[in-house]
Amino acid sequence: MDQAWEAAIKRGDAAWIRERLAGGADANARDKQGQTGVMIAAHDGRIEVVDALIAAGADLNVTAKYRLTALMLAVVAGHEEIARLLARSGADLAVRGSGAPGFAGKTASDLAAAQGRSDLAEDLRPR
C-alpha cells in the first residue's frame, strides 16, 4: 500500500478511494503491518471508505497482528455501525484472535461482550 492510499483512508476520502478503485487499485493492498485498507478504515471509523472497499470486493476476513480482522478492529475501536456493516457484508463471525491476552481465542462477539455491548455481541454471535 502506498502512502497516498493509506493517507486517503485515514482522512476518510471515500471519493478518492472510489476513483482509484475504478482505475484498478487493489482493494486488498496491505500496509507495512499487514493491514488492508478496510482494516484501517474500520478501526478509524471511516464508514464511507469501508463501504467503498466492500463494494470493490475487499476481502473482509484478512487477519493481521493478533489474527484480528476488520470486524474485530471495528469492535475494539467502538465503531458499532461499521461492525454491523461488515457482518451484514459477509465478514466471518467465527474468526478468533490470538496472541495478546485480550484477544486470544476471542471472536468479535466476545470482544463486544467484554466491552459491555450485549446487543452488538448478540448481533455478531457466530451462528
Q: What is the mean pLDDT of residues 27-50?
A: 97
Q: What is the pLDDT of residues 90-119, one digit of tens each?
A: 999 999 999 877 899 999 999 999 999 999
Q: Where are the alpha helices (DSSP H) in 59-124?
A: 70-76, 80-88, 108-114, 118-123
pLDDT at 101: 79
Q: What integer best gives the mean pLDDT of the chain?
A: 96
CATH of region 3-123: 1.25.40.20
pLDDT at 29: 96
pLDDT at 124: 98
Q: How far apart are CA 111 and CA 37, in angstroms?
A: 21
pLDDT-derived band at 62, boundaries 50, 70, 90: very high
